[in-house]
C-alpha cells in the first residue's frame, strides 16, 4: 500500500519503539498526553499503538478536514473487545461499521426514538422527576444538611433515562452490587483507554490490565438485566400508556417485522444499551462540570440568577418552555463544554480506505481521535483560554451543533451525536432549575480554591471528586 504513496508520508509524530509503538506515552489521562505531544508535532499528528496508526487532530482546521471534507472516509468505528463482547458483536449504533446496517440503525434511532415529538412526549416525566429532587433539596435546605449534589444529579439523570427507555425506574440493586452509574463508568473507562491485548493478540490470554475479565462480567450483568426488561415488555400492552417507552417502540418493531433489515432481540438489546450508556453519564457529567464552574465563579452564578429572575421570576420553577429565553444559560453551557467536553477525544473513528489529508498519507484502518479538549484551549482561537468566561459567546455565532469546529462537544458529521437535542434539553433544564431554586454554599469552611478540578479520564471524562454542598432555597413558593 505504501509503495503507491511513496512521496506522501504519515503525519509527523514521536519516534516509536519496536513492537509497542507509542503505547508507553499513555498515562491515566490520554487527552492530556496527546495535548502535550501535539504541541511539538502539530495539529495533525500520528502515533502508533502497537502497529495500529492513530491519527490525532488538535485544531479546528484539522477537525474540519477529517469530519467534514473527508467525513465519509472516517465514518467507521474500530472494533474492540468492549464493542464485540458487551455490545453484541457491534450490533449497536455507536460501534457499528459504516455501511447499510449503521445507516438503518441510525435512521431507526433518529426517527423512532430521538425525534422531537418523542422527546416532547417525555416532558411531564422530566418535570415530575425534577420536582422530586427539588423537594428533597428544599428539605435539606430547611435542615441545613450537606448533600452530595453529584450523586443526586447522577440519580436524577439515571431515573429520567430509565423512565424514558424502560418505562420504569430501576434501583441500583437491579444491576449488581455496584449500581447503574458505577457500572456504566466502568464501561466508559475500559472503552476509553487503550487495551494492550488488542494491539498484541499474542499476550491476550494474560489479560494484563484485567480488561477481558471485567468486560465479560459487565456483558453478563447487562445482558441478564436487558433480557428481563424485554421479557417484561413482550406480551404487555403499551396501548394505554401516555408515552410509549423506548423498549415498547423497539419491541413493537421487532414483533411486527416492519424493519427492513435483520432486527431481533440482540439488536434490541444492543440499542438499549447504547441509549442507556450514551444518555446517563453524558448528561450527569455535563451538569456536574457546569455546576462546579458556576460555584467557582460567583459573578457568573449571579448573572445567571438575574437572568432566571427576569425570565422566570421567583414565584415559580423553570419550565421547559422558558429554556429558549435563557440566553446566558446557553453561554454558560457552551463555555463549560469548551473547557470540559465530556468526551474529550470524541469516540474513535476509523478510516475505510487510504486517503490524503492536508498532504499527509493516511492508510486504511487508521484510528482517528479528535482532541476537542485541546481545541477548547487553543490560544490562537480563544482569548485567555484557561479562564471561564461565558461572555466570550456574547454576539458570537458559534454554536455546539457541529457546524463550528472550534466547539465540538457532540462531534460533527455522519457520526455526530443523534441524542444532542435530548441531552441538551436535560442539561439546560436541570442546570436552570438547580440555579433558580437554590443558592449553594460550600461546607466546613471550604473556600472556592479548595474545589478540586481533577479529571477521571474515560470515553466520558468525569470530575474525580463529588460536589458536596449545602442548599439554600431561593423561591417564594
Binding to ligand HEM by residue 53, rule CB under 6 A? Answer: no
Instruction: Name which position in 43, 78, 192, 418 contacts ligand HEM (CB under 6 A).
Output: 418
Contact set for ligand HEM, span 252-291 (CB under 6 A): 274-275, 278-279, 282-283, 286
Binding to ligand HEM by residue 167, rule CB under 6 A? Answer: no
Instruction: Answer for the pair 203, 197: CB distance below 8 angstroms, yes or no.
Output: yes
Binding to ligand HEM by residue 411, rule CB under 6 A? Answer: yes
Q: Which helix (H) or strand (E) holds 356?
A: strand 355-357
Binding to ligand HEM by residue 60, rule CB under 6 A? Answer: no
Distance CA(182)–CA(113), nearest Å, equals 25
Instruction: Answer for the pair 286, 400: CB distance below 8 angstroms, yes or no.
Output: no
Q: Which is nearer to ligand HEM, 118 or 233 (CB)?
A: 118
Binding to ligand HEM by residue 93, rule CB under 6 A? Answer: yes
Instruction: Name which position in 343, 369, 430, 467 contacts ligand HEM (CB under 6 A).
Output: 343
Distance CA(11)–CA(377), nearest Å, equals 22
In a 10 Å sphere around its CB, with 0-12 CB exposed, 13-18 middle and 19+ buried, how is residue 310 labelled?
exposed
Q: Which is nearer to ligand HEM, 342 or 429 (CB)?
A: 342
Instruction: Answer for the pair 192, 30: CB distance below 8 angstroms, yes or no.
Output: yes
Tell me how crowded residue 405 is: count the other CB atoms within 10 A of its CB: 23
| Residue 417 in marked binding region | yes
Binding to ligand HEM by residue 390, rule CB under 6 A? Answer: no
Q: Rounded to an integer, what is the distance from CA 297 to the centroid of its chain?
A: 24
Instruction: Name which position in 97, 123, 209, 416 contacts ligand HEM (CB under 6 A).
Output: 416
Between the two ends of the chain, the Cα-to-Cα distance in Å is 70
Contacting range for ligand HEM; rule: CB under 6 A; set: 41-49, 200-208, 211-219, 419-427:
419-427
DSSP SS3 for 40: helix
- State the binding string over 106-135 for ligand HEM (x if CB under 6 A, else -): x-------x---------------------
Instruction: Name which position in 422, 429, 437, 470 contacts ligand HEM (CB under 6 A).
Output: 422
Q: Which is nearer to ligand HEM, 16 or 90 (CB)?
A: 90
For 389-421, the DSSP string reads -GGGGTT----SSSS-TT--TT--STTS-TTHH
- The binding site for ligand HEM (CB under 6 A) comprises 93-94, 106, 114, 274-275, 278-279, 282-283, 286, 342-343, 346-347, 409-411, 415-419, 422-423, 427
Q: Which residues are annotated as a binding site for heme?
A: 417
Amino acid at each position: 500500500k505504501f509503495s503507491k504513496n511513496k512521496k506522501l508520508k504519515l503525519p509527523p509524530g514521536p519516534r516509536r519503539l519496536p513492537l509497542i509503538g507509542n503505547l508507553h506515552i499513555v498515562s491515566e489521562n490520554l487527552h492530556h498526553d496527546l495535548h502535550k505531544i501535539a504541541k511539538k508535532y502539530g495539529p495533525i499528528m500520528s502515533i502508533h499503538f502497537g502497529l495500529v496508526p492513530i491519527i490525532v487532530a488538535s485544531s479546528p482546521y484539522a477537525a474540519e478536514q477529517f469530519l467534514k471534507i473527508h467525513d465519509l472516509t472516517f465514518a467507521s468505528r474500530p472494533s474492540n473487545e468492549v464493542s464485540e463482547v458487551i455490545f453484541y458483536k457491534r450490533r449497536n449504533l455507536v460501534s457499528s461499521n459504516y455501511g447499510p446496517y449503521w445507516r438503518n440503525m441510525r435512521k431507526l434511532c433518529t426517527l423512532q426514538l430521538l425525534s422531537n415529538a418523542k422527546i416532547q412526549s417525555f416532558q411531564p416525566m422530566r418535570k415530575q422527576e425534577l420536582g422530586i429532587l427539588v423537594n428533597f433539596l428544599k428539605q435539606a435546605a430547611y435542615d441545613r444538611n450537606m448533600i452530595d449534589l453529584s450523586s443526586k444529579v447522577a440519580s436524577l439523570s439515571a431515573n429520567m433515562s430509565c423512565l424514558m427507555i424502560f418505562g420504569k425506574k430501576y434501583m441500583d440493586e437491579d444491576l449488581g452490587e455496584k449500581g447503574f452509574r458505577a457500572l456504566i463508568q466502568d464501561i466508559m473507562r475500559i472503552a476509553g483507554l487503550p487495551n494492550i491485548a488488542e494491539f498484541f493478540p499474542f499476550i491476550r490470554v494474560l489479560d494484563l490490565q484485567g480488561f477481558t475479565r471485567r468486560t465479560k462480567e459487565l456483558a453478563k450483568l447487562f445482558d441478564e438485566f436487558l433480557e428481563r426488561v424485554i421479557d417484561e415488555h413482550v406480551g404487555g400492552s403499551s396501548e394505554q400508556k401516555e408515552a410509549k417507552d423506548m423498549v415498547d417502540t423497539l419491541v413493537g418493531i421487532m414483533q411486527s417485522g416492519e424493519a427492513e433489515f435483520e432486527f431481533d432481540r440482540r439488536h434490541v438489546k444492543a440499542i438499549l444499551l447504547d441509549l442507556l450508556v450514551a444518555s446517563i453519564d453524558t448528561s450527569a457529567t455535563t451538569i456536574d462540570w457546569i455546576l462546579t464552574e458556576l460555584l467557582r465563579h460567583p459573578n457568573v452564578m449571579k448573572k445567571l440568577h438575574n437572568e432566571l429572575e427576569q425570565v422566570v421570576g421567583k414565584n415559580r420553577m423553570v419550565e421547559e418552555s422558558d429554556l429558549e429565553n435563557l440566553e446566558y444559560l446557553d453561554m454558560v453551557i457552551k463555555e463549560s463544554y469548551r473547557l470540559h467536553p465530556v468526551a474529550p477525544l470524541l469516540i474513535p473513528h476509523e478510516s475505510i480506505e487510504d486517503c490524503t489529508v492536508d498532504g499527509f498519507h493516511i492508510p486504511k484502518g487508521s484510528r482517528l481521535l479528535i482532541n476537542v479538549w485541546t481545541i477548547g484551549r487553543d490560544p490562537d482561537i480563544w482569548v485567555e483560554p484557561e479562564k471561564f468566561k461565558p461572555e466570550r459567546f456574547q454576539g458570537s455565532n458559534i454554536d455546539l451543533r457541529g457546524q463550528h469546529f472550534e466547539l465540538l462537544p457532540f462531534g460533527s458529521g455522519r457520526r455526530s451525536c443523534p441524542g444532542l437535542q435530548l441531552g441538551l434539553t436535560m442539561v439546560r433544564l436541570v442546570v436552570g432549575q438547580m440555579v433558580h431554586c437554590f443558592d449553594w454554599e460550600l461546607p466546613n469552611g471550604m473556600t472556592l480554591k479548595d474545589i478540586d478540578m481533577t479529571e477521571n479520564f474515560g470515553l466520558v471524562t468525569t470530575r474525580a471528586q463529588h460536589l458536596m454542598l449545602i442548599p439554600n432555597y431561593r423561591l417564594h413558593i
